[in-house]
Each structure stands twice: as structure tokens, then as C-alpha cells.
Amino acid sequence: MNYKLLFLSIILLCSCKYDIEYINYNKVKDKWHMDSIQKFEFRLNNVDSTVYNSFINLRISNEYEFNNIFLITKLSDSLQLIYKDTLEYKLADKFGKFMGSSNINITEISLLHKENIHFENNKYYNLTIEHAMRGINKVKGIENLKGIIDIGYKIKKID
């Protein structure tokens, strides 16, 4: 009986398709300063006609005071700026409960960044992310955004 279970487990593990092409995290030590631009440099191989979705991953603590986040993202290659976006993401429901997967006091949220994008083979790309959070009726941005632990970027193949 144990051999059957072991065999089934091996088959299931071997049949899993790993569709993550790139993932990396930057640690911000629980405060994200407004001038601290998060940078991710990557290169994908064997992309041909492959289509991807990209995600911004946030690990946040209970100290995060907002139910949303505004981000400015720039994706460029060595020659040009490809995309520049100001994005708003909802992070919590109407009751203040963070969306995403949680354990004790850390929540990880994966936010869709770009859908159906193409990359060129062996070309270097650079993504920058900065927060654009403001207090209510405030012009000046929040200098230190508390509760942000890590910021990540993930690229997944679309099947």
C-alpha cells in the first residue's frame, strides 16, 4: 500500500508544470520609503511566441494602514521605455481583511501587472516600482509606507 502511495506521489510531482519563468523579491524592512525605487532586471530564454502575464507580489504586515496601494511601474529594455503605468490595487475587503494568503501576521498578495505580454528572446528588461501613496487631502506623498515587508515581481507563462 505504501508503495502505491509513493508511486502516485512521484507521478503527481513529475507531472506538475512549472510555468513561472521569473520571480524575485526585494526586502524593504517593513517601511517603504517614497524615494526607494524597487528594481528588477531579468532576461527570459526560449520565449519565441510565448505569451506571459506578470504580477507584482507584496508581503505586508498588520501594520499596513490602508486597504489599497498606488504604484508607479516602468518596464523598459536597453533601448526604450515600453510601459509606464500608475496603478491602484485593492488589498483588503470592505471589512479590512487583507486579500491573499496569510499566516499569523504576514499576508502575501499577488497583483496582476500586465496580461498577454510578449518578451524578446535573451533581451534584458528592467522593471521599476515605486509607491505613490498619499494621505487623504494631502499633496505630499507618504514618506515611509509602513507594513510593507517585501516587494516581488513574477512572470508566468500562459498555457
pLDDT tens digits for range 146-156:
999 999 999 99
CA-to-CA distance for 75 and 99, rounded, in angstroms?
26
Single out the residue of 61, 23, 52 nearest to residue 40, CA to CA.
Answer: 23
Angle, vertex CA 53, rays to CA 114 and CA 153, nearest 5: 80
pTM recorded for the entire structure: 0.84
Q: Give the three cell numbers for residue 58.
A: 507584496
Query: What are 35-86's pLDDT values in tens digits?
Result: 999 999 999 887 777 899 999 999 999 999 999 999 999 999 989 999 999 9
Spell out the domains of the chain, with CATH numbers in brackets: 19-157 (2.60.120)
